[in-house]
Structure 1
Amino acid sequence: MFYIYAFVINCILRTVVCQETAAPYDIRVDHYKVDVTKDLVINTARPQISWKIAAFNDDRNVYQTAYQLQIQSRKTQWDSGQIISKQSLHVSYTNLDELHSTTFYQLRLRIWTTLSNESSAWTEWIRFRTFMFDIQTTIANRASEFMWIGSNMIPRNEFRKEFQVPGGSPIQSAVVFISGLGYYELYVNGNKTDLSRKLDPAWTVYEKRTLLVSFDLSTIIKVGMNAVGVRLGNGWYSREQNTFPMPPAQPLYGSPRFLFYLKIFFEDGSEFDLGSDTTWIGRQNAILHDSIYNGEFVDSRYDRPNWSQIGFNDTLSLWLPADEMPSPLNKTLPGHLVMQDMPPIRAGADALHIEVSTEPIGEYLKPSEFGQILGGKLSDGGVLKPIATWSPTIGVQVFDMGQNMAGWCRIKLRGPRGVGIYIRHGEVLTLPTVTTKQASGEVYTENLLGATQSDTYVLRGDPAGEIYEPTFTYHGFRYVSIYNVQGEMALGDVECPVVHSETTLKGHFTTSNPIINQIQHNIQWSQLNNLMSLPTDCPQRQERRGWLGDAALTVNEALYNFDLIKLYINFLHSIVDSQGPDGSVPDTVPFADGDYPADPNWGSAFPTIAWQVYRHYNDPEVLYNFYTNIRTYVESVHTAYKSTGLAGLFYSYSDWVPPPPEPRVNGSLASSFAFLHDVSLLVNISQVIHNTNDTAVYLALYQRLAEEFHQVFFNRTSNFYDDGSQTAQIFALALPNVVPNNVRHFVLDRLVSDINQKDIHVSTGILGTAFLYPLLSDNGYHDLALRLITSTTYPSYGYMFNNPYENATTLWELWNTPFEGPQMNSRDHIMFGSVGAWFYSHLAGIDFDTDSIVIHPRLVTESNKHLLPKVDCQLNTRHGLIHVAYTRDATPNSIRLRLHIPPNTRARVIFEPLFSEARCSRIIEGNELIWLTDRNSTFNKQNLELELKTGSMIAWIGSGKYEYEVYWE
């Protein structure tokens, strides 16, 4: 007994030797997060698997030493055996036999780490299946069985089919492949297959790439009679959406249609197929009209609750055979049917998964210190409840959701049969004026332009009440106005599910400065509201396009906050689909608005998104897959440049929407900036994929362009660029090796003096603003950057929620939104959200090198530490959770910094001086002195580095938890 006690005590004291290695967690197959993916389908015969390594709180320098993977199906088994490797990201399936099409598999893995000589426990078996890899060929060869069907003349948007499944052998599995354009919903044996899945499939360039979705129906389809139903909506396939606002518009695709392919496998090896053909029957259901912009008109008297059940018989509707419809694909391109390889749009709780704490997890920052946040919480379950209601006129009731959002409302209604209820949505309320077109306190809708954002619902007269929730539309709004209300409605009669592409919140950033916290809140909500299978510009007015400029500027911010690799890879494919023979791309993807070729700062989305996805996920496959098309795009701008030089390289937008009355900067300067920026990215990308020839070619091109940029745009008389504006100086300074060293300080001084002359305000549009904050922080003006971001006077981020007119819970499109007319004043635009990346990369200081994490919080000087004395940031990276928390409140001229670095990686931690000419006098880590210096000697226990040029201290650390106290004198 003594021996056992002694052994246990020894194990507690020496955890590294005795503890069992925990099983790996957060497994990802082909980038899908398996613990939140309901039905994991992959579209590759050689998937990549990634995982994270668990470690106990006090374990440091934990690395994986080996792993073992097992994958099996009913017919095959593969065991990698023990692979001696540190690799835990993008580990490829290396069996000689590729995974088979339309097959269910399961995998598990275990690892060995430096914590123990013993392996971890195996993970649970993870179930996944493969897509039908040859589905396009199969459908083409059996065109009479699997055809696109719908309605040519008589309106029909609800289709059904009953069928008999033979009973000679038990069902092994049943999977369905479906595409319904513009949108569809699938019902089997009376039930919708996935309740929270909405607005499927994703919007693509349909004639080039139409997406198929697969559902596992193995537990739903039965031997004997079954029934299947499909509802169709117009979506982006509709003429109504595609003809606005201006040419060039999308093709006028036509009326909705769908393709359906059910495949059943039996235990005895036999198969049964069912496809979409003209034996299906259809009718016009209760949705008499649906439009993304203009909402729905629903007459619930047309509802048939049992329409997709077996044996349904409808004596009140006209059900007619379906018409064969042309395929949306262009056969000469050729177009392709492919799997929708990304998470769907979802509504409510299933739309957002949360893998970080939404409160500080250290003890430096208390909840009472980060102030009251306006708006809804991301952690509240994905459904917003109204915070107030009132009746501005008789029969009208307005509800305030408290947060500008994208989605719709689920409304409890009561009233006589045949009464129509009219619902309008808007971002702000009408102010009382003499000339107002609407009563005070009603929803303002003029800024929606051509979009009505309205739903009409005709009551069926259910005495128990009825619930209306839209099916094939979405709205951007904070306020909901309900007309023709039959009696007073209660707050509980309205709730609004938040709708966006399914994703995971992986970043949480909060500080002791409530202004920064509100900006972070507004950025995250604006980003989510603009994730609708592609990154859009706004969710409310008659636009909602995939503007490349917005996507380029915000991808870095978006990937700090949310797990979006699949969405951005799909968007990159859509850019390729929209690319012209000369390599040019349009301003919007799919092309529906703007110019073609794109303004270079908009087209820059192509290389920028690919590069940022690589940075955040360390997956070079993204760069390999898109490199040729990216290079062709850059060459299209290069071709234009050859005709004009940088001096004449002007496209469309320049630095879009600076604060009035500031003018936009020289358009050729802006376009030249984008061209150089992308050539520089092409150099970086070619280096990663080891294309040494292109690296040399584009490095030489960049060097020539850098010299030309300076020669063309630098004003030698005034020692600044172009007209001396903030944006002109930002463009030059943000490009590597453009500004010669002997004039760099003049250009910086010009930028800083202009900001100061404007009482610490910007004069920048979306481009200049995106590059301004990192530029100031990296060049000795971090205090000024903090003063800018914490300003609450016009123009500033803080002014959006500190003004006499409206308090924003999302980002405005314009700095001066309240003063503009209705033509362009969205309250939910993401394009100014670029500053959110700076919060993580500079305020918290988290960035990425190829093989390490960089922790380098930029710090205001001691005299200005009141601007930002405390920061608490969590970021769940590809290796695990990074936690950075610091406080400046402990002792003057010091910082206390807490870090958590995940296993299987290392970090370079940089402590920068807290004031000019400061010298680091001592560093304590975990109550142990590790650095001490005076005039005569230096004590350095952990090989810390002193960077002579900046005076910063650098520490290289492995995984684990650390607490530093750093003192300066």
Structure 2
Amino acid sequence: MIRLKLIIKKYMYIILISSFIYSTLGNPNMALASTNDFSLENLKVEHMVEPIGLDVKQPQFSWNLKSIEGVRGISQKAYQLVVKDVQGVVLWDTGKIVDGASIGIKYNGIELKPENRYNWTLKVWDQKDETQEKSSWFETGLNMQRNGLGNWDNASWIGGQNKELPLYSQSLAVFRVKYVLQIAQGSTKASFILGADDSRLMDKNKNLYNLQSEPDKSFIKLELDTGKVKVGGEACINIYRQGYSKDDSLNPLTSIAIPKALINVENENAKHTIEISSNFGIFNFWIDGTQIELPRVNFWTTGVNVNPVGPGGDYIAFPMVANIGFSVDKGEKANFSDLQILNYREPQNAVFSEVLGSGTYTGIFSHKPIKGFAVGNGAYHLDGGTDGVFITADPSHDSMPLLRSVFTVKNKKIASARLYATARGIYEAYINGERVGDDYFAPGLTQYNITQLYQTYDVTKLLQTGKENAIGAQLSEGWWSGAITFQGENWNYFGDRQSFLAKLVINYTDGTKDVITTNPEDWKSYKQGPVVLGSFFQGEVYDARKESAIKSWTTAAYNDFQWDKAEIVPVNAHTAFIGEWAHCMTGTVTEQNYDHLTLVGQTGPSVTNVLTLTAQKVKEVRPGVFVYDMGQNLAGVPRIVIKDGKLGKKIVLRYAEMTYPDNEKSGENRGMIMLENIRGALAQDTYILKNGENVIAPHFTYHGYRYVEITGIDKALPLKSVQATVLSSIPQVTADYKSSNPEINRLWQNIVWSSRSNFLSIPTDCPQRNERMGWSGDLSVFVRTAGYVADTDQFLARHLQALRDLQDKDGRFGDIAPIGNGFGGVLWGSAGITVPWELYQQYGDKDVLAEHYNSMKKYVAYLDTKLTDKGLLDENTMMELGDWLGPEYNKNEPAFLWAVYHAYDLWIMANVADVLGYSDDAVVYWQKYAERKKFFNKTFVNVITHKTVKSDGTLMDTQTSYAVPLALGIFSEENIPYAAKYLADACVRKNTDDNKIEYNSYALMTGFIGTAWISKALSDNGYTDIAYKMLENTNYPSWLYPVEQGATTMWERLDSYTKERGFGGNNSMNSFNHYSFGSVGAWFYNYSLGIQRDPVSPGFKHFILQPQPDFKGSMKSASGCYDSSYGRIESAWKIDNNKWFYKATVPANTSATLYLPISKEATVLESGKPLTESDGVVFIKYETGKAVYHLQSGIYQFTIKM
């Protein structure tokens, strides 16, 4: 039925437009456009103006027509595209194409070559055959075929020398320790020390418990105790924790028995290899290679928890490696050897080890001679004597890798120069002392083992002819190494060693060229630079004292005699994780290898600085603790100027979205920043000053924050000296919305800010805690809103590539991309179906559908295999989600929602097959859609009452259960009116949540899924007045409740914070920057303003204007705009007593169908004239309380007397 309606609508639209054009051109009274009434703008190739590095065989061209203000009726009658190479050879000439389309024009000429520039000229004829011409250009990249690595001219992946990897011990929360211990004859105990002198525990302002530990008074001690072995007992490991909690004591926190098969009377004084792993404070142990069995600590893992805050990554992480060492009691003797600190995840390379030779010991423990401690014969010797021995030291060493090379540019004119670069890790490149590009975190996050991006930079102006030039790169962890996701098992997910790949091509005007590539012969590396650590989760550590050693390091004049030779860094089992691993929740086995890696030019926007904010307030909450309020929650980094720095002084920056309330409930933490919701991420920057002016501006981390705490300064810095560099992959916001209700305006801004914060290389769920992951369910519900906030086509096309890269062999889409797996089930996996469909509808991008179609087919085929004997859909994984974080989560059966989305997925598939011309597939999918829709109505709707029920027949009757199938068209024609009424009833009545708490009328009882569709479902069925009342409600649960609590972004929970209850006990599972509940933003445009897509004209070539003012409520006006692919659309209404006003802008080369909600008797004027005298407006019909008009391009102002 829906398909038939669309087909009929399409042909009616064609007939209508044809007759309208005929009548317009034949009407001498119509105010038609005249010569030069339009111009050509936004000439783009693959959605970019003058792009370079395109790896697309058949790029798409697009442009806009812009009319002079006040002119109506501008439309494109025909166009011609001519593409030439730089020699002027024509590669493609379309000839005059009679067509109004100005987006998605696909190249169809002679095959384009890599690394070439092409010029293109556009000629457009308007409806009067007047013409305009404009030219532009684009350049291709290295891998036009998108197969393999492309042409890198034998460039090598290079990095620092293959010695120990760098370590900053105060930030490493997931690690392994391995050593050999031999307890001497007559002795029974010896201990290894880790987590000593954690800087957070030595400063009462840096921990929840307000502890202020002295040196060597806070530590974790792991004691091997063989005292009971000689009497037939078991050896054990005693775990002591000191200085971490006020509850710590001198007694062991716990003891772990060691089976006699491992340590017994025969070998108690032999050498034993002991290995400990720490995953956010959950310890596991191996003795001589055999793991000791331990009970389950949480859902994820087994072990022993030593973190006083809580087990695993959901809590502030303790211990870090921090200082390490050894201890024996008095009278005890032992030898330690082969000490290593290793990465947790394979390949488990060492980040610290000491080779104990026969010469003078100069290692980390040599700094302070301790009685009873000696080094010799390959071991650390401890003799407790009469006092015992306790020794610790900091194992930190080295910095993030720096790379450089020098090359000569010939003494002749340069035509162009391009740097092609990427990294395993992230990088910033420099040439002759100047930064290359302005993006952050290149190359961005993709599924690196399958698809990796490279960047292309125009560096022509940075080169110096006839001289030696220098190029350099600073590397850092990025997403390749270090912390990623909330599971410690994923630390160093891809690999633990960063590397750089680059090719510099210098084209001279005489037709010759030089190519400079990364290779170990010409490049050097350095590991003592000022960027000590660069970690997204843990923060950046920067030592400005080290700047002097690398001053001018990217110029040819720099003396690099202290630098080492760079090395090739291959991807193999010694540098990266390669192999299979099973996800602990789904059981899915993921194979990770680099056999089919493709390097592709940058797709979609990178991360850049989009705004700069200045601190609004500062408060000294404790002596020496200064908390700056930026006035806005954001994702980014600070820029802090300290004028009079003192050499060696340490400045520590910590970041938070909230502060503890200034009341008694906060106890000792009153006014301090709240870090519990950051969880296992340290989110702390450390800066060690040089003398004079210092600018703290991290480049290799980012934080989600509103508040920045600064310690280490003597007095508050001026507000102007504390700024925030806002980072995002949304370079421009493409929409705006304002109304007469300031709280709703703030809500819209919160939606925009959460979009900015979370569209950062990938669509993340949150920008602050140890997660920042591409959860598909969050994206699926928000993608329609996102399409208005920003131009998301290429950004999300990149995300769809990640979904394809990670798709299981059985067809299941991961719930997270990149990285993969996760949990969520159908409502999350269906993003692989819903997102490409939304992109096609919003941007008219058929290529997105074509690229993704086979993966979509695999997914719906996979769902078919998950139907039970009763016809219910069940993936049978450990955690399939329903209406996530809804007050009525348990009332809404997940299987109900899975059935709705299964049918919706099939509806989309049928439409996509029609669009792409796969008619046989379309027949199959339409049939399956009909079957699943019939099953849904039979199973989940009571045949007598028509109310929603669970699969066992018990009543649901919830907002979500009506809203989602109504909005997605899954209710039968018979059930629709009942469902609409029941939805309205469920919104108006009082409701109780899963905890039996009652809420008043118009409470928003929906979670992530239901919220996306409830307002649409109401408005589609004649209940817009209720939709406005839901929107304007300020009591919990509602959209405006967080606004009233001071929110500047969307919250993960609608009651993440309340002025009455604080954080409500949800301190850890509590993001204050989470866009999912912001999915209502699409309703602002589609219904409040009435800007709607026409399903048969994707991309807004023709669109619908259907404003729905708040006639029965308190909102008196609303206005907004959307920058569509064809130009800016504007819509605004205002109610004034017995009349109302409506203003609309239809961009040039588009048309719109306007539905005005008026009575037949209403008087309507346009620009002060009767409609019959108004140019560009044609009355079509009157239906269901709306007058329907066709509008040509132009600006229209309607006055309606009610």
Partner in structure 2 of residue 731 of structure 1:
964
Is 1:895 matched with 2:1127?
no
User: Do the aligned partners of residues 959 and 144 (structure 1) sit closer, same or farther apart at CA in structure 2, a change above 3 Å counting?
Assistant: closer
Counterpart contact for 1:425–1:475, Cα < 8 Å:
yes
Counterpart contact for 1:188–1:227, Cα < 8 Å:
yes
Is 1:306 matched with 2:544?
no
Kindly state the Cα deviation for residue 661 of structure 1 after the two structures are TM-superposed.
6.9
Is 1:828 matched with 2:1073?
yes
Give the letter aligned to residue 1194 of structure 2. G
Partner in structure 1 of residue 1199 of structure 2:
965
Kindly state the Cα deviation for residue 647 of structure 1 after the two structures are TM-superposed.
6.3
Which structure is higher in RCO with an 8 Å CA cutoff and minimum separation 6?
1
Is 1:672 matched with 2:899?
yes
CA distance in 1, matches of 2:863, 2:69: 52
Q: Which residue, out of 430, 451, 463, partners 2:681? A: 451
Q: What secondary structure does 1:566 align onto?
A: helix
Q: Deviations over 1:657-689 (max 9, x none)?
A: 445476351111121122111111111211211
CA distance in 2, matches of 1:884, 1:179: 43
How is 1:121-132 mapped onto 2 (pairs within 5 angstroms)? Answer: 122-123=133-134, 125-132=135-142
Q: Which residue, out of 43, 49, 70, partners 1:27? A: 43
Counterpart contact for 1:148–1:258, Cα < 8 Å:
yes
Counterpart contact for 1:170–1:223, Cα < 8 Å:
no
Partner in structure 1 of residue 533 of structure 2:
289
Partner in structure 1 of residue 1163 of structure 2:
922
CA distance in 1, matches of 2:856, 2:146: 27
Is 1:334 matched with 2:563?
no
CA distance in 2, matches of 1:619, 1:549: 22
CA distance in 2, matches of 1:907, 1:787: 29
Q: What secondary structure does 2:744 align onto?
A: helix
Counterpart contact for 1:32–1:40, Cα < 8 Å:
no
Partner in structure 1 of residue 186 of structure 2:
none
Q: Which residue, out of 401, 404, 428, partners 1:161? A: 404
CA distance in 1, matches of 2:594, 2:108: 37
User: Do the aligned partners of residues 278 and 65 (structure 1) sit closer, same or farther apart at CA in structure 2, a change above 3 Å counting?
Assistant: same
Q: Deviations over 1:387-431 (max 9, x none)?
A: 111111121111100000000100112332111111000001112
Q: Number of matched residues?
A: 890
How is 1:91-130 mapped onto 2 (pairs within 5 angstroms)? Answer: 92=105, 94=107, 96-115=109-128, 117-120=129-132, 122-123=133-134, 125-130=135-140
Q: What secondary structure does 1:682 align onto?
A: helix
Partner in structure 2 of residue 876 of structure 1:
1123
CA distance in 2, matches of 1:648, 1:166: 64
Kindly state the Cα deviation for residue 857 of structure 1 after the two structures are TM-superposed.
3.3
User: Do the aligned partners of residues 466 and 232 (structure 1) sit closer, same or farther apart at CA in structure 2, a change above 3 Å counting?
Assistant: same
Kindly state the Cα deviation for residue 711 of structure 1 after the two structures are TM-superposed.
1.6
Q: Deviations over 1:455-495 (max 9, x none)?
A: 00001122xx2101111110000001001113331111111
Range that drifts further, 808-817 or 730-739: 730-739
Is 1:202 matched with 2:444?
yes
Counterpart contact for 1:398–1:480, Cα < 8 Å:
yes
Counterpart contact for 2:1141–2:1200, Cα < 8 Å:
yes
User: Do the aligned partners of residues 135 and 152 (structure 1) sit closer, same or farther apart at CA in structure 2, a change above 3 Å counting?
Assistant: farther
Kindly state the Cα deviation for residue 65 of structure 1 after the two structures are TM-superposed.
2.3
Q: Deviations over 1:563-585 (max 9, x none)?
A: 12110111111110011111111
User: Do the aligned partners of residues 737 and 199 (structure 1) sit closer, same or farther apart at CA in structure 2, a change above 3 Å counting?
Assistant: closer
Kindly state the Cα deviation for residue 322 of structure 1 after the two structures are TM-superposed.
3.1
Counterpart contact for 1:21–1:113, Cα < 8 Å:
no
Kindly state the Cα deviation for residue 941 of structure 1 after the two structures are TM-superposed.
12
Give the letter aligned to residue 160 of structure 1. L
Kindly state the Cα deviation for residue 16 of structure 1 after the two structures are TM-superposed.
4.5
Is 1:533 matched with 2:756?
no
Q: Deviations over 1:159-188 (max 9, x none)?
A: 333333363754333222111122100011
Give identity over the alignment, percent. Answer: 26
Range that drifts further, 922-931 or 788-797: 922-931
Kindly state the Cα deviation for residue 650 of structure 1 after the two structures are TM-superposed.
6.3
Give the letter aligned to residue 960 of structure 1. G
Q: What secondary structure does 1:197 align onto?
A: coil
Q: Deviations over 1:733-790 (max 9, x none)?
A: 234253341x433333332222222221121101011110000011111101100001
Counterpart contact for 2:899–2:936, Cα < 8 Å:
yes
Q: Deviations over 1:282-322 (max 9, x none)?
A: 1121111121111011111111231111120257x554433
Partner in structure 1 of residue 734 of structure 2:
506
Partner in structure 2 of residue 547 of structure 1:
775
CA distance in 2, matches of 1:140, 1:800: 50
Q: Which residue, out of 58, 66, 82, partners 1:46? A: 58
Partner in structure 1 of residue 948 of structure 2:
721
User: Do the aligned partners of residues 89 and 150 (structure 1) sit closer, same or farther apart at CA in structure 2, a change above 3 Å counting?
Assistant: farther
Q: What secondary structure does 1:557 align onto?
A: helix
Partner in structure 2 of residue 784 of structure 1:
1026
CA distance in 1, matches of 2:891, 2:613: 39
Counterpart contact for 1:507–1:561, Cα < 8 Å:
yes
Q: Which residue, out of 1161, 1182, 1186, partners 1:952? A: 1186
Q: Which residue, out of 562, 567, 590, partners 2:818? A: 590
Partner in structure 1 of residue 430 of structure 2:
187
Partner in structure 1 of residue 467 of structure 2:
224
Q: Deviations over 1:65-103 (max 9, x none)?
A: 233334333323337375142334236465642222111
Give the letter aligned to residue 218 of structure 1. T
Q: Which residue, out of 495, 504, 514, partners 1:262? A: 504
Provide the TM-score with structure 2 as the length reference.
0.71
CA distance in 1, matches of 2:773, 2:821: 8
CA distance in 2, matches of 1:757, 1:53: 50
User: Do the aligned partners of residues 63 and 459 (structure 1) sit closer, same or farther apart at CA in structure 2, a change above 3 Å counting?
Assistant: same
Is 1:467 matched with 2:695?
yes
Give the letter aligned to residue 173 of structure 1. S
Partner in structure 2 of residue 621 of structure 1:
847
User: Do the aligned partners of residues 500 and 151 (structure 1) sit closer, same or farther apart at CA in structure 2, a change above 3 Å counting?
Assistant: farther
Give the letter aligned to residue 600 of structure 2. V
How is 1:13-92 mapped onto 2 (pairs within 5 angstroms)? Answer: 16=32, 18-34=34-50, 40-78=52-90, 80=93, 83-90=96-103, 92=105
CA distance in 1, matches of 2:1033, 2:876: 33
User: Do the aligned partners of residues 556 and 942 (structure 1) sit closer, same or farther apart at CA in structure 2, a change above 3 Å counting?
Assistant: closer
Q: Deviations over 1:188-226 (max 9, x none)?
A: 1111112x3101111111111111111122222334311
Provide the TM-score with structure 1 as the length reference.
0.87
Give the letter aligned to residue 608 of structure 2. R
Is 1:271 matched with 2:513?
yes
Counterpart contact for 2:963–2:1018, Cα < 8 Å:
no
Is 1:146 matched with 2:162?
no
Counterpart contact for 2:826–2:880, Cα < 8 Å:
no
Kindly state the Cα deviation for residue 252 of structure 1 after the two structures are TM-superposed.
4.3
Counterpart contact for 1:150–1:325, Cα < 8 Å:
no
Q: Deviations over 1:711-730 (max 9, x none)?
A: 21123465311221221222
Kindly state the Cα deviation for residue 875 of structure 1 after the two structures are TM-superposed.
1.3
CA distance in 1, matches of 2:988, 2:31: 56
Kindly state the Cα deviation for residue 256 of structure 1 after the two structures are TM-superposed.
1.1
Kindly state the Cα deviation for residue 153 of structure 1 after the two structures are TM-superposed.
2.2
User: RMSD of the TM alignment (CA)?
Assistant: 2.8
Partner in structure 2 of residue 3 of structure 1:
none
Counterpart contact for 2:404–2:473, Cα < 8 Å:
no
Give the letter aligned to residue 171 of structure 1. I
Counterpart contact for 2:148–2:599, Cα < 8 Å:
no
User: Do the aligned partners of residues 530 and 326 (structure 1) sit closer, same or farther apart at CA in structure 2, a change above 3 Å counting?
Assistant: same
Counterpart contact for 2:481–2:491, Cα < 8 Å:
no
Counterpart contact for 2:35–2:130, Cα < 8 Å:
no
Q: Which residue, out of 990, 1009, 1013, partners 1:771? A: 1013
Partner in structure 1 of residue 367 of structure 2:
none
**Structure (1 or 2) with the greater helix fraction:** 1
Kindly state the Cα deviation for residue 549 of structure 1 after the two structures are TM-superposed.
0.7
